[in-house]
Structure 1
Amino acid sequence: MTDQRVTISFENGVADVRLARPDKLNALDPAMFAAIIAAIAELEAMPGLRVVVLSGEGRGFCAGLDMASMAAGGSGIDLPTRSHGLANDVQQVAWGWRTLSVPVIAAVHGVAFGGGLQIASGADVRIAAPGTRLAVMEMKWGIVPDMAGFALWRGTVRDDVLRELAYTAQEFDAGEAQAWGFVTRIAEDPHAEAMILARAIAACNPQAIRAAKRLANLEGDAAAILLAESAEQAALLRSPNQIEAVMANLQKRPPNFTD
């Protein structure tokens, strides 16, 4: 990418995506919003992509909004307008990771405040360093989380805990974040752990992984989800990659999948 607010490197099906404004703890200004949206679009169109690892350069994942920048120029975003399916531009920087067709693993360290926490929450899996500081920070500025946080936290974060954190903007640590559902697990080197997990996922049938993510993203009644399960399975059974998965296991060799 030309905009170095976000960098992407790609190898063996895994995209290593980094927020790259370390001098500002990767805080979100208009250029960072635009760069993240562009990165998500680039990834969705990337041939051979199987997994994304999302992290932040420098001392933290993302400190949230760059309030000085936003106050000076504003976001320029029409909040009611849906520009990306269900989401507006502000929401796309977090919601876009959830709707990306491949799994996303967030490696979080240092700080994940406000919008930074919401961006991490868009990932399928979140691995945090032990000393990470997190907060639903928006109430500090007299606003509410509006980058898809409430939609992303539903079903993973306990309702009364989320309400308390949203009402108070109090900080919490990685251990609390794991207990409350904001973080999947804790690792001393979250980026290294995320890359190990990403390579394991990238070694699986890519069509099955994408189908599993579509099913995991479904909301609705049991009947609709059961029907979707059947449809996804019918499409996978006897497909070339599904046959290759079976043969590789029987022959005790690495599979050779096609994207």
Structure 2
Amino acid sequence: MSEPAARVEWTMTGGIADVRLNRPEKLNALDDEMFTALLRTAAELRAAPDLRVVVLSGRGRGFCAGLDLNAFRALAEGRDFRPADSDVRAAELGGDPELTRGQRAVLGFPNLPVPVIAAVHGPALGGGLQLALAAHIRFVAPTAMLGLPEMGWGVVPDMAGTQLLPRLVGPDVAAEMILTARRVDGTEAARIGLATRVVDEPLAAAMELARTVAARNPDAVRALTTTLAAPSFAEGLAAERAALRTVTGAPNQREAAAAALEKRDPVFVTGAGNARS
């Protein structure tokens, strides 16, 4: 578990990592320490052998209001607003060193070998929305406010949002949202495909789904996560075939089938050596 004062806190119970942005007095705005904490958290989760699913949320009144205002003040003054890598080595915390630190902070979560569920309430703006976009599933409160306001500051989204948003809402809606800096509430987010589901209590719904995922064959869940991330249709089909070979007949798959036949809860084993090579 991370230290209580960390910008990101996380605990794990039953394979469920409960990850919370922890700067509530600033609506979890992204500053240098938050970027470092996101990178470090993803690295810690990647090394956790019992990890089965991640729930990502924000403490306080919102998910994440985006980049800290001090960064925008730097923009107005012509200073570099981008977080530096001086205190974090890319090789140590993972991620492609060719990416910016913000891109690595966002993409560290979908690059985990398990599903990531975002629970969004209040503001999810700029970098905050881009972090939510990277999740596999998004439960959003009806009163949440989502948007990419970067154009209003004279810049473009630079934390993978230009690539992630069009895949959810289509290139035309993404272009309109980014160019106008328009914000949408949770209800409209669901209508345009930005939210998986609108719920009054996103964190409770995310945890309920996480418990369902954690009760599945962890080998199959990890294989599915890899398959869903395939960059092309042909590579996805190849990933399906590889997943079937890896999972079928392995101890956890046999346990899942036996438990289903016997109408009991399965008892899975996590760690190396369970799936077939």
**Which residue number in structure 1 is paired with residue 255 of structure 2?**
244
SS of match in other structure, 1:7: strand
SS of match in other structure, 1:134: strand
Cα deviation for residue 170 of structure 1 reads 1.4
Q: Deviations 1:32-69 (Å, cap 9, x if unpaired)?
A: 11111111111111121101100000000000000215
Asked whether the 8 Å contact 1:218–1:225 carries over to 2, the reply is: yes
> In 2 relative to 1, CA 74–155 (structure 1 residues): closer, same or farther, beyond 3 Å?
closer
> In 2 relative to 1, CA 100–70 (structure 1 residues): closer, same or farther, beyond 3 Å?
farther
Asked whether the 8 Å contact 1:134–1:173 carries over to 2, the reply is: yes
Q: Deviations 1:73-93 (Å, cap 9, x if unpaired)?
A: 733437xxx872273311022
**Which residue number in structure 1 is paired with residue 200 of structure 2?**
188
User: What letter corresponds to residue 237 of structure 1 in structure 2?
Assistant: T
CA distance in 2, matches of 1:29, 1:108: 19
CA distance in 1, matches of 2:33, 2:137: 26
Cα deviation for residue 71 of structure 1 reads 4.2
User: What letter corresponds to residue 184 of structure 1 in structure 2?
Assistant: T
SS of match in other structure, 1:99: coil
Cα deviation for residue 155 of structure 1 reads 2.5
SS of match in other structure, 1:59: coil
CA distance in 2, matches of 1:76, 1:113: 18
TM-score (norm 1): 0.94
**Which residue number in structure 1 is paired with residue 273 of structure 2?**
none
**Which residue number in structure 1 is paired with residue 117 of structure 2?**
105
**Which residue number in structure 1 is paired with residue 143 of structure 2?**
131
**Which residue number in structure 1 is paired with residue 243 of structure 2?**
232
Cα deviation for residue 225 of structure 1 reads 2.3
User: What letter corresponds to residue 194 of structure 2 in structure 1?
Assistant: F
**Which residue number in structure 1 is paired with residue 77 of structure 2?**
none
SS of match in other structure, 2:143: coil
> In 2 relative to 1, CA 99–19 (structure 1 residues): closer, same or farther, beyond 3 Å?
same
**Which residue number in structure 1 is paired with residue 65 of structure 2?**
63
Cα deviation for residue 204 of structure 1 reads 0.3
SS of match in other structure, 1:208: helix
**Which residue number in structure 1 is paired with residue 6 of structure 2?**
4
User: What letter corresponds to residue 82 of structure 2 in structure 1?
Assistant: S
> In 2 relative to 1, CA 68–61 (structure 1 residues): closer, same or farther, beyond 3 Å?
same
Decide which moves more: 102-111 or 174-183. 174-183
Percent of aligned pairs with the same amino acid:
47
TM-score (norm 2): 0.88
CA distance in 1, matches of 2:112, 2:60: 25
Asked whether the 8 Å contact 1:236–1:242 carries over to 2, the reply is: yes
Cα deviation for residue 219 of structure 1 reads 1.3
User: What letter corresponds to residue 179 of structure 1 in structure 2?
Assistant: R
**Which residue number in structure 2 is paired with residue 220 of structure 1?**
232
**Which residue number in structure 2 is paired with residue 200 of structure 1?**
212
**Which residue number in structure 1 is paired with residue 130 of structure 2?**
118
RMSD over aligned CA atoms reads: 1.8
Q: Which among 40, 43, 53 is matched to residue 41 of structure 1?
A: 43
Cα deviation for residue 70 of structure 1 reads 6.1
Q: Unaligned stretches of 5+ in structure 1?
A: none
